[in-house]
């Protein structure tokens, strides 16, 4: 696979201080079958053009920094191998559905606000002192939310989601899955409080379960499944609201 030794990257470029609109710039880099797209971008930055701007850190698929569109698909560039594209050129763009700050860097402001909105932390009335030891949680109870706790906040699901694309206020797959993760945690008592936020997101009901979010998720979190479960829980909660005053229910 060491044929012809080069591969072309077409990189999305946009600098808000100098560009009125984005453009693409082509770079030819050495082809190494062990390289991921991120390696190639780093090679460009180090050796050809220091102005190419992107985020990255762990290069092992867990810090969530390096999500980009690779040939039109949302990918972690540290896990997208050049050998899967070679000898074709690789087109690299910033994640869609986010404002671009510069080149391959998108603004995360909205995403961070959405994470915050779902109250992603344990809410309890009765907090034990640490001297009383851990809260017991059986492996089965852990299994009920574990999958939804695996999200690395890479935002690929927002780039894949058709609802995010046209409903800016939609909390979106990762945030809803995170809210659901805490709702399903046996140590948590904050479901009502959290559901109030999640249910007020009208766009959640607009999620059509196309499941693109789950398809692109590099950590198999299945946000689409979480949203469907949350909707079911929400419907129960909603109807409970008619039967008894808020706060009395579960």
Partner 1 sequence: MNHGTTHQHDVIIIGGGGAGLRAAIAIAEENPSFSVACVSKVYPMRSHTVTAEGGAAAVIKDNDSLEDHIYDTISGADWLADQDAVEYFVNRAPPEMVQLEHWGCPWSRMPDGSVAVRPFGGMKIERTWFAADKTGFHMLHSLFQTTLKYGNIVRYDEHFASKLLLDDAGNCRGCAAIELRTGTVRAILGKSVIICTGGAGKAFPFTTNGAIKTGDGMAMAYRAGVALKDMEFIQYHPTGLPGTGILITEASRGEGGILVNKDGYRYLQDYDLGEALDVGDPRHPQKRAMELGPRDKLSQCFIKEKNAGRTIRTKDGDAVHLDLRHLGAAKIDKRIPFVRELARSYAGIDPVHQPIPVRPVVHYVMGGIDVDSNSATGIPGLYAAGECACVSINGANRLGSNSLTELLVFGAQAGTHAARFAMDRPDYDVSGLEAQAADEGERIRRDYFSMRTRSGSERIAVIRKELHDAMEDGAGIYRDAESLDAACNKIAELRERYAKITLDDQSNCFNTELTAALELASLLDVAQAMAHSAMERTESRGSHQRLDHPDRNDDDFLAHSLAFRAEDGGAPRIEYRPVTITRWPPGKRTYGADSGLKRPADAAAANDDTAASGETR
As given in the structure block, the two tokens for residue 161 are 């989601």
Q: Smallest distance from the beta carbon of 225 to partner 1, in angstroms?
A: 11
Helix (H, G, I), strand (E, B) or coil at 74: strand
Q: Hey, which residues between 51 and 90 contact partner 1 (CB under 8 A)? A: 51, 53-65, 79
Q: Smallest distance from the beta carbon of 59 to partner 1, in angstroms?
A: 7
| Backbone dihedral region for residue 28 (phi beyond 0: left; psi -120 to 50: alpha; all else: beta) | beta
Asked whether position 205 contacts partner 1 by CB under 8 A, the answer is no
Please state, in angstroms and rounded to a whole number, the distance separating the CA atoms of residues 126 and 123. Answer: 9
Please state, in angstroms and rounded to a whole number, the distance separating the CA atoms of residues 76 and 235. Answer: 35
Residue 95 near residue 156, CB atoms below 8 Å? yes
CB-facing half-sphere around the CA of 197: CA atoms within 13 A: 21
Q: Which of 28, 73, 116, 196 binds partner 1 (CB under 8 A)?
A: 116
Stretch of 2-10, 11-19, 90-98, 157-165 contacting partner 1, by CB under 8 A: 11-19
Residue with Cβ nearer partner 1 (19 or 202): 19
φ, ψ dihedrals at 7, nearest 5°: -145, 145
φ, ψ dihedrals at 144, nearest 5°: -65, -25
Site string for partner 1, 149-188 (x = CB under 8 A): xx-xx------------------------x---x--x-xx
Asked whether position 1 contacts partner 1 by CB under 8 A, the answer is no
Asked whether position 133 contacts partner 1 by CB under 8 A, the answer is yes
Residue 206 near residue 170, CB atoms below 8 Å? yes
Instruction: Kindly list the residues in this chain that would bind partner 1 in the complex (CB under 8 A).
Output: 15-18, 34, 45-47, 49-51, 53-65, 79, 101-103, 105, 108, 112, 115-116, 119-122, 127-128, 130-131, 133-143, 145-147, 149-150, 152-153, 178, 182, 185, 187-188, 220
């Amino acid at each position: 696979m060491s044929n012809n030794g080069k591969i072309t990257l077409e990189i999305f470029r946009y600098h808000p201080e100098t560009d009125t609109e984005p453009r693409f710039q082509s770079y030819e880099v050495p082809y190494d079958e062990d390289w991921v797209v991120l390696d190639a971008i780093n090679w460009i930055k180090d050796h050809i053009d220091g102005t190419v701007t992107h985020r990255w850190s762990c290069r092992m698929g867990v810090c969530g920094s390096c999500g980009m569109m690779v040939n039109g698909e949302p990918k972690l560039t540290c896990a997208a191998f050049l050998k899967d594209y070679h000898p074709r050129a690789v087109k690299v763009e910033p994640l869609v559905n986010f404002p671009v700050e510069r080149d391959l860097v998108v603004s995360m402001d909205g995403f961070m606000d959405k994470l915050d909105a779902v109250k992603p932390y344990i809410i309890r009335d009765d907090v034990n002192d640490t001297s009383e030891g851990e809260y017991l949680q059986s492996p089965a109870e852990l299994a009920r939310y574990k999958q939804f706790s695996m999200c690395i906040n890479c935002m690929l699901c927002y780039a894949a989601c058709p609802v995010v694309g046209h409903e800016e206020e939609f909390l979106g797959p990762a945030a809803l899955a995170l809210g659901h993760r805490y709702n399903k945690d046996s140590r948590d008592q904050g479901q009502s409080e959290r559901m109030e936020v999640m249910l007020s997101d009208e766009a959640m009901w607009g999620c059509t379960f196309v499941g693109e979010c789950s398809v692109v998720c590099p950590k198999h979190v299945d946000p689409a499944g979480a949203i469907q479960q949350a909707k079911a829980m929400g419907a129960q909660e909603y109807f409970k609201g008619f039967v008894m005053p808020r706060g009395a229910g579960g």
